[in-house]
Structure 1
Amino acid sequence: MRILIIAWFFPPWNEPASNRPDSWARHFAAQGHPTTVLTARKDPRLQRDLSTPLRPQSGLTVVETPLRLMRTPVAKGASWAAGSIPQARRLARQSDVIISTFGPWYMHVLGWFAKRANPGAFWCADYRDLWHARDFFMQGRPWRQAFMRRLEQFIVRPANLAVSVSPPLVASLAQTHPHIPGVTIYNGFPLSEHMPRRPPEVMRQRAVAGVPFDIVYTGTIYEGGYNDPEPLLRVLARNRWNRPVRLHFYGQSAASPLLRSLRDRYGLQESVVLPDQPLSRGDAVRRQREADLLLHLGWTNRGIDGILSAKIFEYLASGSPVLSVGAEPDTAVGRLLHETGAGICVGRNESLIESHLERYVNEGDCTAWFGPRTDRILAYTRERQAARLLELLQEHAGH
């Protein structure tokens, strides 16, 4: 099969969203399927961090078309997409399979033009996030949501397959596009980053020795009630620990005004660490492996339950226990942690948070809720997920 992937996010842009199309493209090419990626020429004025190497690979071609309207405050991406239509059409005529990966929304518009140029090609519409039903984008704007729903249905109607990152999002897509089969392809993590768990006896020895207990968060704080670290901070402020507990926030979250306010409100200036310097991805992975506990802030809004970020899969790979605060056990992240044995969801239940932490911090024992199942965790490698997508494409595209 000759495969065309249309993606806004792609290396060297150092964004988690770049990993999904990159891992697919490399797996497809490695399996003998010539793969072309259509993406924007990267510009540090717009994409800023271009530190991810774009490694050459046999069978993989990356076509970068120029950005436009760089001096305007808006429409840089949309104007790029408009200018890339001729390339999308040309490349589609040379392809058996077209994959457009959302977002932004104009990736599927380019997919529509590509499908029009080659109606016989198999079009897979990938959704890392929802389009018209995206809560962040549409909240409080029913007129906009109605318009975008109609636009999305028109644009994506010719697609042959819809793919998304979790079962709840696939179910949502089925309501918008009932005629299009939908499947789940998780974001996953690189196999090379998988680490075994820390031996339980080491955890107990650290507790007995009074080694400071490090909790690490390397995600994003979405203010406005989407995720909420306050229940954990309230528990930490009760200070029922027989050794120092430090809660480290890295990345964008460290600059959150909400976090600084909560830290000061609960008198946790010595416990909550907010570094000024950003953390490279390599250093973030290292800190996740070294942590006694990884904090995950789950969605408190049920309407966006199905968004499984790339971060939770990094956590799975780390070998460290995961405590998810905010989301309930019956959510997508709760089911994922339960299935893999990598941790637990406690919602906003402070009694649960305290009981789990008290035994782990003071005794070094978290075996009641942490028992990673390696076989289940390895099912979520990017390599396994890319292989599953390729199998589906071969099955549905008839090659």
Structure 2
Amino acid sequence: MRNILIISYHYPPDNIIAARRSEAYARHFHKFGIFPTIVTDRYEKEYDGQGKLIGYKNHKPYEKPITEQYKSHRVVRLPRYITPLQWFQKSIERIPLLSPLFTLLMNCLGHFDMHLLSHHANYKSFLSNHLKNNSYNMILAIDSPHFHVRLAYLLHKDFRIPYIVDFRDLYDNNILNQDYRPTLKRRIINNLKKKAFTKWLKNTKLITASSQLLADYYAGLINCKGFEITNGFEAIDYEAIEQEKTQLFQIASTGRLYCNQDWSVFASGVRKFSSEQKPDNFRVVFAGVRKDANDIIKTIKSFIPEQYLMINGWLDKEEVYRIQYSSSILIVASWQGTLGVYSGKIFEYLGARRPILFAPGDNDGVVDRLLKRTRAGISTNTPQEVCTFITEKYNEWKQTGRVSYSGIEEEIMKYTRENQVKKMAELIHNFLPAKSNR
């Protein structure tokens, strides 16, 4: 059994999709000869006087890490206490001249997660002591945040432990777009990041990323080969859900909405559908919408009549899965101006086994090709195509009470979290030296 140290700020109960990736490694690595130790935060929820969640608790410097030991993995949760440098950053962040100069200085020194300066210091202090008394065959750093990669590089220098880096995103998801014209400030930051990552990756044994295009970009910085490990879905999450009979033909989007997604194609297609069909048993649900999506929701409301809309805020993941499972169509919009990026929710939609409507498509990009391989849905690029697809499914639903699904199970199962972790484990075993330096 190989022992691997995983550095991952995002980990449950942190309730975002980034936490699902490290959770999958914790849950499945042991099946493939790897025992992982995950170093993460002590996520302890804080509530206001009305019982509303307001965030996660910050700790005192004297508070200690908490270790959770399981048969399949170990989790070490570090206290979230604020260092003097972080206090200084917070105190000047609203000062017009001083704050950007301080940020530039820290960027030049290789610190890009300004809100996590404390974490870099706290994680480095803990890990430097931890590795003096604990032996690992390899370090796995999951990016982002970026400080994980910096730490893996520094710890390799100090302890000679091989390290690999697993990327969820690019440091700027627009950089592969030929039409991208970043501001001068963004160009400076991107150049600093590119220089830093080239340095941090030069000794890595393996580079993986959530899509092949991203893996190739990072691997190209140091002239090596990168490998794709996509996000995925946990099969067990959907096995326990009972399909609810509904009197509504429901289209659903679950999870965050992003400003660089174009929702107008879908919304315009729905407007055309509702105008032509005038359905009285139809609903479009946007679940898990955050406040930062207010402008997107305004755009959607300008197209879709309000009687057909249901918009929910944060929901726990079990409720999200239930909504997915009980819907007739699941909708996702492509990321405009970005290449090689899967939406994380696309894999959850595969797990729900419901027809996927991708509008607009990504011009034969990774999601278009995924839908073709799995036959789990359709890519559309015009409001008329959206309207036609919805109308076909709606008529089928009216006639039979259900919507057929044509997904190829063998292809879909390739994207379970377990199978993606298996791919990662095989890469690790192939690239790991026969004997670690530690």
Shorter-chain TM-score bucket reads 0.7 to 0.9
> Secondary structure of the residue that 1:379 maps to in structure 2?
helix
Q: CA deviation at 1:168?
A: 1.6
Alignment of 1:1-399 (within 5 A): 1-44=2-45, 48=55, 56-69=69-82, 72=87, 73=90, 75-92=114-131, 94-119=135-160, 121-131=161-171, 139-140=182-183, 141-178=186-223, 180-194=224-238, 211-223=247-259, 226-238=260-272, 239-241=275-277, 243-244=279-280, 245-252=282-289, 256-266=293-303, 268-275=305-312, 277-301=313-337, 304-347=338-381, 349-364=382-397, 371-399=406-434
TM-score by length of 2: 0.78
CA contact 1:166–1:184 (8 Å) conserved in 2: yes
Tell me, in whole angstroms, the C-alpha distance in 2 between the residues paired with 1:296 and 1:29: 33
Residues 10 and 267 of structure 1, relative CA distance in 2, 3 Å threshold: closer
CA contact 1:132–1:152 (8 Å) conserved in 2: no
CA contact 2:258–2:293 (8 Å) conserved in 1: no
Tell me, in whole angstroms, the C-alpha distance in 2 between the residues paired with 1:391 and 1:216: 36
Q: CA deviation at 1:31?
A: 4.3
AA matched with 1:371 = S
Residues 132 and 296 of structure 1, relative CA distance in 2, 3 Å threshold: closer
CA contact 2:42–2:79 (8 Å) conserved in 1: yes
Q: CA deviation at 1:370?
A: 5.1
Tell me, in whole angstroms, the C-alpha distance in 2 between the residues paired with 1:268 and 1:165: 37
Tell me, in whole angstroms, the C-alpha distance in 2 between the residues paired with 1:267 and 1:123: 50
> Secondary structure of the residue that 1:124 maps to in structure 2?
strand
Tell me, in whole angstroms, the C-alpha distance in 2 between the residues paired with 1:243 and 1:308: 32
Q: CA deviation at 1:329?
A: 4.8
Q: CA deviation at 1:281?
A: 0.8
374-383 or 226-235: which moved more?
226-235
Q: CA deviation at 1:268?
A: 0.7
Residues 241 and 30 of structure 1, relative CA distance in 2, 3 Å threshold: same
In structure 2, list runs of 5 or more residues that go unmatched: 47-52, 58-66, 94-113
CA contact 1:240–1:358 (8 Å) conserved in 2: no
Q: Which residue of 1 aligns with 2:101?
A: none
Residues 361 and 134 of structure 1, relative CA distance in 2, 3 Å threshold: same
AA matched with 1:321 = P
Tell me, in whole angstroms, the C-alpha distance in 2 between the residues paired with 1:181 and 1:61: 30
Tell me, in whole angstroms, the C-alpha distance in 2 between the residues paired with 1:49 and 1:16: 17
AA matched with 1:181 = K
Tell me, in whole angstroms, the C-alpha distance in 2 between the residues paired with 1:368 and 1:44: 40
Tell me, in whole angstroms, the C-alpha distance in 2 between the residues paired with 1:37 and 1:69: 21
Identity %: 22
> Secondary structure of the residue that 1:129 maps to in structure 2?
coil
Residues 56 and 215 of structure 1, relative CA distance in 2, 3 Å threshold: farther
Q: CA deviation at 1:242?
A: 5.9
Tell me, in whole angstroms, the C-alpha distance in 2 between the residues paired with 1:253 and 1:372: 31
380-389 or 87-96: which moved more?
87-96
Residues 188 and 263 of structure 1, relative CA distance in 2, 3 Å threshold: closer
Tell me, in whole angstroms, the C-alpha distance in 2 between the residues paired with 1:262 and 1:134: 23
TM-score by length of 1: 0.85
Residues 362 and 162 of structure 1, relative CA distance in 2, 3 Å threshold: same
Tell me, in whole angstroms, the C-alpha distance in 2 between the residues paired with 1:254 and 1:321: 28
Residues 369 and 346 of structure 1, relative CA distance in 2, 3 Å threshold: farther
CA contact 1:300–1:326 (8 Å) conserved in 2: no
Tell me, in whole angstroms, the C-alpha distance in 2 between the residues paired with 1:40 and 1:293: 37
CA contact 1:99–1:125 (8 Å) conserved in 2: yes
User: CA-atom RMSD, angstroms?
Assistant: 3.3
Tell me, in whole angstroms, the C-alpha distance in 1 between the residues paired with 2:233 and 2:174: 24
Tell me, in whole angstroms, the C-alpha distance in 2 between the residues paired with 1:290 and 1:270: 20
Q: Spell out structure 1 runs of 4+ moving beyond 6 A.
A: 365-369
Tell me, in whole angstroms, the C-alpha distance in 1 between the residues paired with 2:9 and 2:304: 43
In structure 1, list runs of 5 or more residues that go unmatched: none
> Secondary structure of the residue that 1:163 maps to in structure 2?
strand
Tell me, in whole angstroms, the C-alpha distance in 1 between the residues paired with 2:236 and 2:301: 39
CA contact 1:127–1:164 (8 Å) conserved in 2: yes
87-96 or 7-16: which moved more?
87-96
Tell me, in whole angstroms, the C-alpha distance in 2 between the residues paired with 1:246 and 1:131: 37
Q: Which residue of 1 aligns with 2:98?
A: none
Number of residue equivalences: 380
